[in-house]
Structure 1
Amino acid sequence: MTTDLNLLTAAAAKWESMAGELKKVETRYGDSVQKITLGQTWAGVSAGAAQSGFAATRYEYAAAQTQAKAVASLLLDAHAVFTDLKSKLQSARDDAVAAGMTVSEQGRVAFDYSKLTPAERSAYHHDPDGEASIRTAVTSWQQYLDDRVKAASEADQHVKAALEAAVVDGNRDAFGKGADQTIGGFNAHPEGDLAKVPLPRSKDAEVGTKTDGWQAEGSASATGPDAGAKASGPKYGKEGSAQAFAELGHATAQGSLSNGSMRLSGIADAYAGARASANVGITDKGLTGKAEVSAGGRALAEGRAGYGYVEGYGRAEGFAGAEAQASAGVGLEGLNAGAKAFAGAKGTVAGGAEVAGIGAGATAEGWAGAGAEAKVTFGKGDDGKFHVGGKVGVALGLGGSVGAEFTFDPAKITDAAGDAADAVGDAAHAVGDAAGSVKDTVGSWFD
């Protein structure tokens, strides 16, 4: 009731001004730095890399403007919502007082006996029905005010969730979909309309139709038999691909269970058939090449369990048939190289864990057949994580392979660091509140 809500509109004006200043910086950058890569005097792989990198920087300048404007819009919406709720709460208090109640600064309702004459007070005290009617009226008015306080608290949480979501980069234009190359950068697609942001779910709300709070999701698909071939390219830069397949059948089933911060998920996949593919690319993303051929049957089962920022997984896989593969790539997002050839049957087990966006895992395979494999990876994968790992194996009759991988998820690392900072701040506030309470208590001994 005492908050100066005009501070929200003042803050919104500052955010709008910030967006204008960022626009000036973006324009200067485009006219001076990025312009260098757009002429005819610079060509080749280095020019392509520069074009990509400079475009990514300008993308962030533009995304920063969009994010700032969204924050400004949300603050203006918050001002309108809070002003309305404050007015309704004030009106509810006035109505309660007019009905013969008192309302404390803490919002507690009581019957105002001071407005009664001595005779009326005596009548109420000696009339059980009169006392009961007073208690009923007090309870009703208390609920009336509490509901409006609750509405203001829920609106506060709604605004908080909207502001937090507006400044999280969803990377919708990343991974080949646009110029975004910064994981955890500015949000180019924020929602600036508070009414369109979903309300945060109450902690005690039921999830789905389950009384224990668990929510289940799942899907399954099956295809085949099928066969086909296709080719494409070269496209922008020099990029082309070709593939052919003859599929006997392919089936996949996956499901998940979640309850608050706890998550359980699993997937099962089976495939039988033959396929061959090859692609090569020389683009602004770097140089890549891959060729593979395989025939046989493959089955996989994987389970994951997580709570908050901690997640573990286990996977089992089986293959029978023949396969060969060679790949190599180098670019702005890392490098990879590998080769393998195998004929026979093999089984794989893998496991690992991730804490606050940093993960580690290992694989082990048993081979019955003949083959060899070597692989090294360093860079960003399609899942947005950075991967560092390797794998090596050999068999002549019997053998196997071992591998290890470390992953780094920038988005989760950033979120975990932010939550840790919030926790430290909350702890500091709690200590301060406790110290203030002790001071007040001790001081009261000497009053």
Structure 2
Amino acid sequence: MTDISGVVASVLTRYLTVLDECAKQVTGDPAALQRQAQRQADEATNLAAVSAEISSCAGKTDASWQGTAQRAFASAAGVLTKDIEDVTQQLKAEAQRLSMTAAAIQTTMSAMDTVRAEFLQYARVLVDEARTAATGSEQAFLNAAQQLGDSAVRSATALRQRLVDALTQLYGLKPETSEPAESSEKEDEGPGKVKVDFAQLKKGSLSWIGEEILDGRKRPRSVPSWFSNSGWYKLTEDGFSGTRAPKKDDTPFGDAELPEHASTGQKLWHSTDITLLKGEGVLGDESWGAKVGDNVDEAHLSVGPRATWDAAALVHGGEFRLDGKVQGTLADVGASGALTNGVVTAKGDVDAYVGGQLGGHLDGSTHGVAAHLDAFAGAKISGSAGVDVAGIGVGAKGELEAGIGAQFDGQATMDNGHIKVNFKVGAALGVGGSLGANIDIDLPKVWETASHYGHEAYESVSNTASQAARAIGSVW
């Protein structure tokens, strides 16, 4: 074993510096903005009272004044009250805009604090594990640190951009300018929702078996497992013989990976599935059990053998894919529930089963064909918990599995007139676990809550959301 905690901590510290810089860029004084908004609202109320008094005086003169004097006073009163009402509306609009600005800044600051706290929590775990790292696992720890840092920075920059978009819409400015935006008949819908998912931290001998293509460099080496890479072979008249590897970008596995600096459009297309055909069914069912409750608050129990299947033909990231899964269960138990109290909504679910599953897919593209199979037999339990306070939602999710797992990945491509093939296969016996978290922010809901319950109530629920985020993080 070797201690590489210093190197890992150094990498994470650089990411923390970026997070702190993002936090500075969204830091403001929401309380001062709310005070100014209240002053504007008070001014509007006072002016409205003056306008009402002038209108009342103009009405009372009708009984005692006659002729030119009465008409002149009434005309002047009408012009004055209209001007006052225009100013009153402007003050009200400005007060509302200042209040919404304060809410947006407060929400972003609170969410940014949560991102930073989650990053530090997972960073501490990673640094502690790095103190007793297995020999040869240095790169795996550095990759994990980079993955954690990149995820946190993406979350922080997304929150920062969301605030920029909100302020841009609130003050009618063109993005990246200080010029008023062109008028549009489309009603301003305000900024929408943002959801940030933290990359899951995985640990254990079974954690590397799943949908991702097998990679020996990413496989934990300190756990009981078996892994083999066949290398590349080409098909000739004399059969298969060893050969050099083709360029990675010209292989199905290479084509399935995104470029290091992929654009947002590339990432969106890569994760898009277009389903052409889909089906599912039951192969056999000798189980018995029951379910109580509705889809929100429910519990279910099933005992006995049951086998199901599902399959689909689709286009995945521009490639044709056949996808399928067979699952058999001997026991399945789960429950979910939700509780709402005012502006606070809490929800959670847990599910456990004993059995096995076999899944896989076959991809075809201009670079060849690729096959993937993964299997698991044993017991698995998963759960999630979350709380939403006035539009600020935080949650955590986790999974634990114990049993035996295996995975196969194979590919074939045409290179220099020869068919070349390669496969990777692995198996593991033991346990595996994963842990993740997410933040879900609905700014329109936050603003609606703030205007309905008042500023003090808004501050209270914002603080509650931050505390809930830290609490959930510590539980998981």
TM-score (norm 1): 0.29
